[in-house]
Amino acid sequence: MIKTEEPHWRRSRRCSTGACVEVARVAERVLIRDSKMPTGAILAFTHEEWDAFVTGVKDGDFGFE
């Protein structure tokens, strides 16, 4: 049996409603899930994809006009 690393899920300190996005790092992936549905779908990204997304958020690339 191969032992896998368990995700350590984190959410923003600004999350006060419990309806938040949670993020975990496991091996070579960044995982994202909905805190309201912790057994639901999990999205997985490489560190490069995650870094590009975070950079885009910081640069305002995803703003609605």
pLDDT, tens digit, 9 for 90 and up, residues 6-38: 899 998 888 888 788 999 999 899 999 998 998
Task: Report yes or no on 33 lying in a domain.
Answer: yes
Q: What is the pLDDT of residue 4?
A: 64
Domain extent, residue 50, equals 21-58
Residue 25: DSSP 8-state? E
The pLDDT value recorded for residue 17 is: 80
Name all contacts of 6-14 with Cβ < 8 Å and 24+ positions apart.
7/31, 9/33, 9/38, 11/35
Task: Classify residue 7 as exposed, middle or buried by CB count within 10 Å of its CB (0-12, 13-18, 19+).
Answer: middle
Q: pLDDT at residue 1 above 80?
A: no
* Number of compact structural domains in the chain: 1
Residue 2 inside a domain? The answer is no
Q: What pLDDT is recorded for position 16?
A: 81
